[in-house]
């Protein structure tokens, strides 16, 4: 069993190498620092009772998994909604809805070009149509996670299923939507 002092010494010894390694992967200092700190916390919380000899391998596995999780989150975050931030209104109105504003013909600041506005409107109509074609549970999980910005735990509680089911439904929905949009020649 590792004593608190041994665990602290171990973490001090691997901190700089872990940060450098993670920075090479994610190419962002702030994200790297977050990943390394999260990995250290996970090691201390879940494996602090293990012998000192096992800590290096455990830490490397945790760090690798945390880095992969970061990439997965980035991929999902950027897969469909990378350009939705372009639709944000300049007003402080929290009730801004992209689909409503486009359906009502509201002019969004920064979109003076009729061709661009038309393309965006058509893209949003296609996305909305494809969302309606998703199976109910996938659509429900997708909208809660990415439209309502709920986390996995909140979504699982609202849907009455496990967090793993929410992740599976979201993954399948994103994949189906991406494939459908790509088949129609839409790149987001």
* pLDDT tens string 140-164: 888 888 877 788 998 898 888 999 9
Residue 171 falls within a domain, yes or no?
A: yes
User: Cβ(111)–Cβ(166) under 8 Å?
Assistant: no
| DSSP state, residue 86 | G
Range(s) of the domain holding residue 136 = 84-183
Three-class SS state of 31: helix
Element (H, E) at 158: helix 152-159
Convert the pLDDT of each residue in 35-82 to its tens digit.
Answer: 999 999 999 999 988 999 999 999 989 998 999 899 888 877 766 555
- Among 82, 158, 74, 71, smallest CA distance to 127 is for 82
- Statement to judge: residues 44 and 115 lie in one domain: no
Contacts 24+ apart (CB under 8 A), 184-187: 184/126, 186/123, 186/126
pTM: 0.45
Alpha carbons within 13 A on the beta-carbon side of 97 = 6
The pLDDT value given to residue 25: 84
Domain count, the chain: 2
Same domain, 177 and 98: yes
Q: Collapsing DSSP states into helix, strand and coil, what is residue 83?
A: coil
When the pLDDT of each residue in the chain is averaged and rounded to a whole number, the result is 81
Number of Cα atoms under 13 Å in the Cβ half of residue 35: 30
Q: What is the CATH number of the domain that holds 101?
A: 1.10.10.10
CA-closest candidate to residue 87, choices 117, 61, 53, 127? 117
In this structure, the answer to whether residues 55 and 115 fall within a common structural domain is no
């Amino acid at each position: 069993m590792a004593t608190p002092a041994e665990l602290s010494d171990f973490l001090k010894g691997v901190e700089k190498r872990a940060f450098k390694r993670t920075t090479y992967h994610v190419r962002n200092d702030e994200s790297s620092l977050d990943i390394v700190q999260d990995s250290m916390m996970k090691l201390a919380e879940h494996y602090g009772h293990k012998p000192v000899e096992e800590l290096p391998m455990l830490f490397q596995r945790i760090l690798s998994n945390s880095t992969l999780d970061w990439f997965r989150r980035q991929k999902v975050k950027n897969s469909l909604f990378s350009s939705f931030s372009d639709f944000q209104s300049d007003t402080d109105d929290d009730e801004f809805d992209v689909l409503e504003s486009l359906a009502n013909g509201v002019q969004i600041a920064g979109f003076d070009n009729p061709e661009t506005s038309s393309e965006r409107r058509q893209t949003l109509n296609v996305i909305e149509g494809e969302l309606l074609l998703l199976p109910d549970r996938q659509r429900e999980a997708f909208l809660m996670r990415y439209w309502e910005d709920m986390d996995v735990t909140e979504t699982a509680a609202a849907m009455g299923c496990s967090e793993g089911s929410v992740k599976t439904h979201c993954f399948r929905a994103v994949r189906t939507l991406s494939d459908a949009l790509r088949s129609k020649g839409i790149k987001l």
